[in-house]
């Protein structure tokens, strides 16, 4: 969730969270990249979030703690997030209270960025803090996670991975994130999508056949390809939403 102020982009809000919750019973981890998240903590809980995650940089420590207490009062899980330039020690005031710590391995605001390997020591340091002070707390990584970088994240101590571009820009969603995680072992939680078709199997033959049978112009093939891409993404998103939090 982005507000255009804390990060230079705008994305989903409360209505989208509610709409997704109405559509699936999967675990909704809502990452608030917004200023003063205490203002919206209750609304996201009420809209269906299962875990609400705040940036420690987004407000004063007092207000972040208040936001955490609001989420807990709603019976939901809560977490805190660190931007790349924020030191690992910033989690200490919140660690005994939260269910998850998220380390950003890109600057928040835009997808498709490259993984920042210099964040790996921070992930390892936070893993040590969690093991000492809050063993039940999850350690999540978001930003540039793909089948290669997921392995170094797990080796550094992460057990929850977020993947966006690596999954949704793939021509074939073949559980690439899941495959990478499974090869690394452990019980890391992940989400992925499965694509049941491909452009070369469906879009091209259908477009050419339609153009031939109905004497349609060649641009019809491009239209079919475009429609096929939308259908393929819609099917993949539906399959993703039908998966449980693992």
Beta-bridge partners for 104: 142
Distance, in Å, from the CA atom of 58 to the CA atom of 3, rounded to the nearest integer, reads 11
Distance, in Å, from the CA atom of 3 to the CA atom of 10, rounded to the nearest integer, reads 5
Please return the burial class of 169, using the count of CB atoms within 10 Å of its CB with bins 0-12, 13-18 and 19+: exposed
Question: What's the confidence (pLDDT) of residue 245?
Answer: 43
Cα torsion 132, 134, 137, 143 to 10°: value is -50
Question: What's the confidence (pLDDT) of residue 12?
Answer: 80
Question: What's the confidence (pLDDT) of residue 103?
Answer: 97
Question: What's the confidence (pLDDT) of residue 167?
Answer: 77
The series of mean pLDDT values per 10 residues for the chain, 246 residues long, is: 90 88 89 96 96 96 98 97 97 96 92 91 98 96 90 94 79 51 48 37 56 63 53 45 42
Q: What is the pLDDT of residues 223-236, one digit of tens each?
A: 555 555 544 444 44
Contacts 24+ apart (CB under 8 A), 111-114: 111/164, 111/165, 112/165, 112/169, 113/143, 113/144, 114/144
Question: What's the confidence (pLDDT) of residue 116?
Answer: 95
Question: What's the confidence (pLDDT) of residue 180?
Answer: 47
Question: What's the confidence (pLDDT) of residue 224?
Answer: 52
Question: What's the confidence (pLDDT) of residue 100?
Answer: 96
């Amino acid at each position: 969730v982005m507000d255009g102020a804390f990060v230079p982009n705008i994305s989903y809000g409360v209505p989208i969270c509610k709409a997704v919750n109405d559509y699936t019973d999967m675990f909704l981890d809502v990452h608030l990249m917004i200023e003063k998240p205490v203002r919206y903590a209750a609304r996201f809980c009420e809209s269906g979030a299962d875990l609400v995650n705040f940036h420690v940089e987004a407000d004063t420590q007092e207000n972040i703690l208040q936001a955490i207490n609001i989420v807990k009062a709603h019976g939901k899980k809560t977490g805190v997030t660190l931007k790349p330039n924020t030191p690992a020690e910033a989690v200490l005031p919140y660690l005994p209270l939260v269910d998850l710590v998220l380390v950003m391995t890109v600057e928040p605001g835009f997808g498709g960025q490259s993984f920042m390997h210099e964040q790996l020591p921070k992930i390892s340091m936070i893993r040590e803090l969690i093991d000492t002070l809050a063993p039940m707390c999850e350690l999540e990584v978001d930003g540039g996670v793909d089948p290669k970088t997921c392995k170094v994240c797990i080796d550094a101590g992460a057990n929850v991975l977020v993947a966006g571009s690596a999954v949704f820009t793939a021509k074939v969603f073949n559980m690439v994130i899941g495959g990478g995680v499974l090869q690394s072992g452990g019980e890391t939680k992940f989400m992925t999508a499965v694509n049941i078709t491909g452009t070369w199997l469906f879009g091209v033959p259908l477009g050419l056949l339609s153009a031939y049978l109905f004497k349609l112009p060649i641009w019809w093939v491009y239209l079919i390809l475009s429609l096929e891409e939308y259908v393929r993404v819609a099917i993949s998103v539906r399959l993703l939403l039908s998966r449980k939090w693992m």
